[in-house]
A and B are shown apart, each in its own frame.
Chain A
Amino acid sequence: MPTLWKITLEILRQRQNQPPHVELFELEVDPDENVLDCIERVWAFHDRSLTFRHACHHSTCGACGMRVNGVEKLTCITPVREVTHPNGVLRVEPLRNFPVLSDLVVDVSGFFQRMEQTQLSSIAPLSQAKLPFEPNPPTIWQGQRLIDCIECGLCVSACPAANTSTSYFGPAVLAAAQHVYRQTNNPTVMQLVNCADGLWRCHSAYECSAVCPSNVDPAWRIMDMRRATVAHSLRNIFKRPNQKVAP
């Protein structure tokens, strides 16, 4: 029988266009449970009107991203013992930088539309699905796998530039563009992100890579895409006018 912890779950609740408020729930939890389990318990036994997104419960769908004690987390893989202590507080808030639809549910439709503009495929050959500085997979099996980005939006929530700019593409979209560009060399992808609201809005706080739960390393990908863009522009300067290519 595991030792149970008494914790106070603080949930920031909000209905659309109404001011947010905090509701407290006293729970007894196994510290090895995940934060999402606690939220589900509140929904099941305390308040059926609580709204939150979740699906796979194993960090594949990216639906349950929230701010836990101020830090962006996938709540389905965040054990309670990692984020609080016995008799401690667990504050759960919706992701930042997205419109709140209800309680912990944010509107990610605009984010998904931007992701789609990059034409990122959700699968890639094994050698291209990883970060380039990671070791290559064994050559005995040459297949494809799902890429690392689960489109959870944690990076967008943590990014300070996304906090203040309504038109910034955000780290996930820029990382997706880099992924596509390095796979295809498609100049339209570079054209899409080579603008003030794209690559050049990033302020190098590296929060996106710190909170990414899925090994995407958006900050590295943004900087790599910048390097590719600068190199492309420099090459264009020294080309004859009839050899120049967009962007």
Chain B
Amino acid sequence: MNQPSPRNILRWFDPRHRQPGTWAFILNRITALGLTLYLAMHLIVLGKLAQGPAAYDSFVALAHSPLVKIGEMLVIAAGILHGLNGLRVAITSLGFATRYQRQLLWASTILSGILILIFARAMFLGG
């Protein structure tokens, strides 16, 4: 239990007693898993094109349901959070602005929040 082991992987997702760097680390992994799941679902849906217009049309009708819209919003949010935090990690991981990683984290989180709100407004209010 106390020694390193790949079986400890769930500890990666435990934010208790840890600082913002770990919260960003956890968020990046959750959003990466979400985006990977979305990619798989996206490929499955694209596969419906091969099944003809009827199969694809029935999916397009489903895509207008509120639940799918919320799912799409989650994908956009995950992409923004993962992308901007990924930029922060890429910059600081090569020795640039490493001392300011925490400030970069807050900046990327605030910017993510603003972009998510803009997208949410466009998706749900049509503006």
- Give residues in A with beta carbon < 8 Å to B: 20, 69-71, 94, 96-100, 106, 133, 158, 160, 162-166, 168, 202-207, 210, 219-220, 223-224, 226-228, 230
Contact = CB atoms under 8 A, between A and B. Distances in A.
A71 B18 CA distance: 8
A70 B16 contact: yes
A94 B93 contact: no
B12 A97 contact: no
Nearest to B7: A164
Interface string B1-19: 1111110110110001111
Interface residues of B, number: 28
B119 interface: no
A164 B98 contact: no
Contacts of B9: 164
A214 B43 CA distance: 51
Contact of B2 (A94, A207, A227): A94
A183 to B, nearest CB: 17
B2 A230 contact: no
B19 A207 contact: yes
Given A160-B12, A226-B94, A206 B2 contact: no
A94 B3 CA distance: 11
Nearest to A99: B3
Q: Which of A94, A160, A224, A226 has the most CB of B within 10 A?
A: A160
Interface string B101-122: 1100000000000000000000
Given A166-B5, A227-B95, A230-B94, A160 B17 contact: no
Contact of A164 (B5, B17, B25, B92): B5
Interface in B1-42: 1-6, 8-9, 11-12, 16-19, 21-22, 24-25
Nearest to A69: B17
A205 B3 CA distance: 19
A163 B11 CA distance: 8
